[in-house]
Structure 1
Amino acid sequence: MNQDVIITCAVTGAADTADRSPHVPVTPKEIADAAIEAWNAGAAIAHMHVRDPETKQCSRRLDLYAEVCERLRAADCDVIINLTAGMGGDLYIGPEENPTAFCPETDLVGGLERLVHIEELKPEICTLDCGSVNFGDSNLVYISTPDMLRKAAARIQQLDVTVELEIFDTGNLWFALQMMKEGLINDNAMFQLCQGIPWGTPPELSLLKGMVDMLPANSNWTAFALGRKQLPWAAQSTLLGGHVRVGLEDNLYLGKGEFATNGQLVERAVNIVENMGSRILSPNEARQKLRLRGTQ
C-alpha cells in the first residue's frame, strides 16, 4: 500500500460535459479557480484542459492556456500545473460509403504541434497519450502513432518537463516502456492508468493489477476509473501502491443525482486515503517525490 499519496485533480476535460453539470469550469478564470479549489481541498496537482468560452468545447488555443497559467502563478497557490498535450488527435472517420471523408469535428495535427502551449508555458508536467484507441461508439479514433509519440517524447524531454504517460490500453503501456528503453522517457515519468473509457481498458481490478505488474520498479503511477468507480479507484490505486486522481474530467457526481464540485471530489478522496492510514502529500512534497524540474 502507498503510505504517501499524491492527489491529482483533473478539473475539466475534453468531453462534451459543460452542459451536463453546473460545476464544470469553462473559462480560464473558472478553470484556474477550480484548480485553486482543488488545491485548497488537498490536491497537489491540477491537470487541465481548456475550453472555448463561447462554444464550451475543448480547445488548443495558446491564449487560453496562457491565461490559466498566469492566473495560477499570480495566485497564492503552489499547486503543480499539469497541462494536457493530448488535444489534436481526434479523427472522425467518414460514413461507411466514404470513410476517408473525415467529419468536420476532426482535429488532427502532428505530435509536435500538440506541444505548442507546452513549449511556450513550460508547465512542470504535461501528458502524453501513449497510443491510438477507439473512443466511444461513434467513428471517433484518437490517433497517436509511434512516430508521433517518439517525436513528442523527445521534445518534452528536451524541455525538461516531466511527462505523465496516459495509458488507455495495455498496448499503450507496452509502447511507453519501449520509449523508456530507447531513452526517450526519463525515469521520473508518471504513469496514468486510465480505465473505463470505451473502448480502452475496462475498469476491472484484475486488469489494473496486470498493468501495475508491468511497471518498472519504484515507478510513480496513478489509476483512475470513470463515473461512479472514480472514488473506489482512489482506494484501489492506493492499496496497490499508486497515487490518486479525481475530478470533473472523469466523474460529475458525488453521489446518485448529486452533482460534485472538484473540491468535493478531492475532499472525498482525502478522506478515503487518510482513513486507510496513508498521508496526503503537499505540492512541494509531491515535487520532491516526482523529482520535478529544479528539485533533482
Structure 2
Amino acid sequence: MSNKVWLEVAMNGAWTRALQPNIPVTAEEIIREGIDCSNAGAAILHAHSLDPNTGKQNADVDICQAFIEGIREQVDAIVYPSSVAMPMGDDAQVRNRTTNELCRRGVLEWGILDPGSCNFAMKGVNLFGNDGDVYSNPPGVLRASAEMAAEYGWRPSYACYEPGFVREGAKLYKAVEGMQTPVYRFMLSDGFTFCFPPREWAIEALAKLMAEEAPGAPWMVAGLDINTIPLIPKIVELGGHVRVGLEDAPFQSSKTNVQWVEEAVKAIRAAGGEPATAAEIRDSLS
C-alpha cells in the first residue's frame, strides 16, 4: 500500500502582489485557485483573507467564510485561513476573534496557533525596509489560545519557526485537556534567519525532536522564501508531509499555485508516496 502523504498548498500569504504577482487576492480568486489545487492533488488548502483593494491581510471573517464555503461546495478539502491581522497584540480574545467566530458559524476545521516567538528578519537585503520584527506569542496568549482551540473544537496548525516551538507546542497539548492533536509545520528558509535552512539534515534533526517531544504526531515541512520540492524524498522517507504554494515559494515566483502542487505530486509519487485525500487525513487524525 502506498505511503499516504498530506499535501498542503498555501495560496497567498500576506506578501501582496509586489512580492508574489501570481497570488489570489479576492475570495472569488481564492475559491477558483483552491478548487484547481484540490483537483491537482492538494487536500489541505490555506489562504489569508486580503483586502480586495489593497491586497493587505485583514482577517475579515466574512471573506474567510466565503472562500472556505465556496471551495468546499465544489471539492472535499480541509480549508483553513490565517485569521490574525497585524499588529496582533497580547489579547488572546482579539487574536482569535476571527477563528472563534468561524467556529461559531460551523465552518472551521483547522486554525492557526504558533507556539512561540522569534525574530523575523532576512539574511540579505530586507525586502520590508527595516531590520526585521519580532513575531510575538507570549506564553499566556498561547495557553489562552490553546484553551479556545479546545473549547471551540478547531485543530491547531503549529507553524514552528524555531525548534523550541515544537517543545512548547508539545507542552501545550499535554497541558490543555480536550485540545485536538496539533499538526506541526517546520518553517525553514533560505531568505529568513529563523530556524534552519532547507536542508535534509535540518529535517532529520526536527524529525528526531518530534519523536522525542510529540511521538506519533503529524508533521510537515514548509517555510518562507523556500523551494520545498528538492526536500520531498527525505520528507517522505521520514514519514512527514509537504506544503507548497505562493506563501512559501521564493519571492517573485513565476509558477502558479497549481504548478507548485503538480510538481509536488510528481515528487511525492517518485519518492514512493501517494497524496492523501482530505477524508484520509481526517481518518488518520480521528
TM over 0.5: yes
- Counterpart code for 1:134: N
- 1:233 — aligned with what? 231
- Counterpart code for 2:3: Q
- Counterpart code for 1:157: A
- Counterpart code for 1:59: N
Contact 1:134 1:200 in 2 (8 A): yes
Distance change in 2, residues 1:277/1:139 (3 Å): closer
- 1:128 — aligned with what? 113
2:248 pairs with one of 250, 254, 262: 250
**1:47-58 to 2 correspondence within 5 Å?**
47-58=46-57
- 1:142 — aligned with what? 135
- 2:94 — aligned with what? 113
Contact 1:9 1:247 in 2 (8 A): yes
- 1:221 — aligned with what? 219
- 2:258 — aligned with what? 263
Q: Which whole-Å CA distance do the structure 1 matches of 2:148 and 2:31 have between them?
A: 26
CA deviation profile, 1:193-244 (whole Å, cap 9, x unmatched) = 1111623112233332222112222211101244453212333322221011
CA deviation profile, 1:145-183 (whole Å, cap 9, x unmatched) = 110000001101111111111110012112112112213
Contact 2:118 2:136 in 1 (8 A): yes
- Structure 2 portions without partners, runs of 5+: 123-130
- Counterpart code for 1:213: K
- Structure 1 portions without partners, runs of 5+: 91-105, 292-296
Distance change in 2, residues 1:21/1:214 (3 Å): closer
Q: CA RMSD in A?
A: 2.1
- 2:28 — aligned with what? 29
Q: Which whole-Å CA distance do the structure 2 matches of 1:52 and 1:212 have between them?
A: 37
**1:25-104 to 2 correspondence within 5 Å?**
25-73=24-72, 75-85=73-83, 87-88=84-85, 90=86
Q: Which whole-Å CA distance do the structure 2 matches of 1:139 and 1:268 have between them?
A: 32
- 1:200 — aligned with what? 194
**Residue aligned with 2:67, SS:** helix
Q: Which whole-Å CA distance do the structure 1 matches of 2:115 and 2:29 have between them?
A: 29
Moved more, 45-54 or 228-237: 228-237
Q: Which whole-Å CA distance do the structure 2 matches of 1:128 and 1:185 have between them?
A: 15
Distance change in 2, residues 1:244/1:132 (3 Å): same
| Structure holding more strand per residue | 1
- Counterpart code for 1:178: K
TM-score (norm 2): 0.86
Contact 1:223 1:242 in 2 (8 A): yes
**Residue aligned with 2:113, SS:** strand
- Counterpart code for 2:9: C
Contact 2:224 2:250 in 1 (8 A): no
Aligned length: 268
1:161 pairs with one of 154, 157, 170: 154
- 2:127 — aligned with what? none
- Counterpart code for 1:120: E
Contact 2:10 2:47 in 1 (8 A): yes
TM-score (norm 1): 0.83
- 2:125 — aligned with what? none
Moved more, 147-156 or 189-198: 189-198
Contact 1:167 1:173 in 2 (8 A): yes
**Residue aligned with 2:74, SS:** coil
**Residue aligned with 1:119, SS:** helix
**Residue aligned with 1:108, SS:** coil
**Residue aligned with 1:241, SS:** coil
Q: Which whole-Å CA distance do the structure 2 matches of 1:145 and 1:228 have between them?
A: 27
- Counterpart code for 2:77: V
Overall identity of the aligned pairs, in %: 27
Q: Which whole-Å CA distance do the structure 2 matches of 1:47 and 1:76 have between them?
A: 16
Q: Which whole-Å CA distance do the structure 2 matches of 1:33 and 1:19 have between them?
A: 21
Q: Which whole-Å CA distance do the structure 1 matches of 2:17 and 2:91 have between them?
A: 27
- 2:275 — aligned with what? 280
Q: Which whole-Å CA distance do the structure 2 matches of 1:160 and 1:270 have between them?
A: 30
Contact 1:7 1:45 in 2 (8 A): yes
